[in-house]
Amino acid sequence: MSTTPPQARRFSRRLFLSATSVTALSFVYLPGVGRVRAQPYPDAMATDYQGRLCYNENPLGPAPAALAAMQDAATLSHRYPDFYSSSLEQQIAGYHGLAAQNICAGAGATEVIRLIADAFLGPGDEVVTATPSYGQMGSEAIANGASVVHVPLDADHCIDLPSILAAIGPLTTMVSLVNPNNPVATIFDRVAMEDFLAALPPGIVVIVDEAYHDYVQSPAYESCIRHVVEGRPVIVVRTFSKAFGLAGARIGYAIASAAHASLIGSTQQFGMISRASQAAASAALTDVPHLADTVDLNQQAREMLATGLTNLGLQYIPSETNFMMFDTGTDAGSVASQLAAMGYQVRTGWGMPQYIRVSTGLLAEMQGFLDALESILATAVPASPEIPSQLALNSIHPNPFNARCRIELAVPSREPVSLILYDIAGRKIRSLVEGSLPEGIHEIAWDGRNHTGQVVAAGVYILNLVQGEYAISRRMSFVK
């Protein structure tokens, strides 16, 4: 972590945001590199969510107390909420036995992760993280001009903390971890984390995303909140989206030292969490039976999945969350497409071409999913080699370039695609693609000009490809 005061740091998106009028600003939010797209679902699924096993949502929904609180808060929708969620932060702090100064609440863990990146990362900084994993922090780092080092998981699909430690270099200012890890649903144990922190060089902050904490059953697991309390340079990220069933309400929070929490919140816009969402989160913390029911259902659904996959002769990665990764033994993209046609949405990608990630749902959904999977695998037909199984930025050539470059991308479906160019400060330069493309391989050219036709300045630019929730970011250099 840099010890230089934020105002004196090198130019970054954080400083750009604080110095620029919000109404005049066009900046990029880069969804996590490594997040993978769900198969498109029929329009009817917009209100009927049965079979949507791709977002790791709570199938029981919000707690009854949270629903009642939202309904009550709706009558005051004409009044602004608690601008900085102070009351909610106080209650979250009490829930964890901490002080309110240790909490920074935001509009989902999504906003909280962005705020953390803006607080600690700028040009020249470096983040070390695992792959595959939830990749938003990596994209936020790139948007802030920092670089990212990806360390592969170990042979058991777990985050390899010794290898993470070995990858730390002189420019490293942050280590970003996800525990339990998404998409593979594994954990690193408390002893390994103790050893890791003991050997961590000074000046580095460790972010631990614990979105799926409530589902873990392993006695080897321990939340990293203890390390915050002990004064270690650790920041824990939590969310109400998963076990608390408030994904649509968008509430997350960081747990950190008072100094770190203050820095995280220093660029947050006021009023980001609605009155209804604040009320829902506050009530959800008190509804212990609903949380217990959620965890119990998840246990049953996870066991049903494990048994069903075993009976189908499929290998799976043992899960500590509300989702599971399994090996289809064939092209996972083809299987996922057929499952989508039968009403079951799952996810593929992460450089694991035979694996599918499926969320736990209601028990009837789990049985229906297993029945559909069995019927598909019984008549499995290899996917057409002309249609890519997942979104990809295949190449940028030449790179660096000084007149024109060719960008090759792979598009697996007709779901709308955006290919947008940003400068290193996160300002939008030009939209190269906005809309649907046929499935297949496409080549897009860029001539070094912005949306007004002017030649841009020489430098590094960020190319961001998005389809659904699958996003890929690459750097490219324009020279004159």
Stretch 449-460: mean pLDDT, rounded?
91
Q: Report how far residue 172's alpha carbon sits from residue 165's, in angstroms, rounded to the nearest whole number.
A: 11
Share of the chain above pLDDT 70, in %: 88
Asked if residue 174 has pLDDT above 60, the reply is yes
Tell how strand 234-239 and strand 252-255 pair up.
antiparallel
Place of tokens 């950190």: 256
pLDDT tens digits, one per residue of 204-246? 999 999 999 999 999 999 999 999 999 999 999 999 999 999 9
CB within 8 Å of 172: residues ≥ 6 apart: 125, 126, 127, 128, 149, 201, 204
Per-residue tokens: 5? 């005061």
Q: Report how far residue 45's alpha carbon sits from residue 115's, in angstroms, rounded to the nearest whole number.
A: 33
> What's residue 21's pLDDT?
33
* 5 band by pLDDT with thresholds 50, 70 and 90: very low
Asked if residue 189 has pLDDT above 60, the reply is yes
> What's residue 28's pLDDT?
33
> What's residue 118's pLDDT?
95
Per-residue tokens: 150? 């990806």
* 333 band by pLDDT with thresholds 50, 70 and 90: confident
**Domains recognised in the chain with CATH numbers:** 43-59+288-378 (3.90.1150.10), 64-284 (3.40.640.10), 392-478 (2.60.40.4070)
Q: Report how far residue 133's alpha carbon sits from residue 155's, in angstroms, rounded to the nearest whole number.
A: 15
Share of the chain above pLDDT 90, in %: 68
* DSSP annotation string for 309-377: HHHTT--EE--SSSEEEEE-SS-HHHHHHHHHHTT-B-EEETTEEEEEEEE---HHHHHHHHHHHHHHH
Q: Report how far residue 106's alpha carbon sits from residue 239's, in angstroms, rounded to the nearest whole number.
A: 9
Most confidently modeled of 60-74, 373-387, 448-462? 60-74
* 142 band by pLDDT with thresholds 50, 70 and 90: confident
Q: Report how far residue 117's alpha carbon sits from residue 148's, in angstroms, rounded to the nearest whole number.
A: 12
3-class secondary-structure state, position 428: strand
Stretch 189-214: mean pLDDT, rounded?
97
> What's residue 343's pLDDT?
92
Per-residue tokens: 452? 């007004």
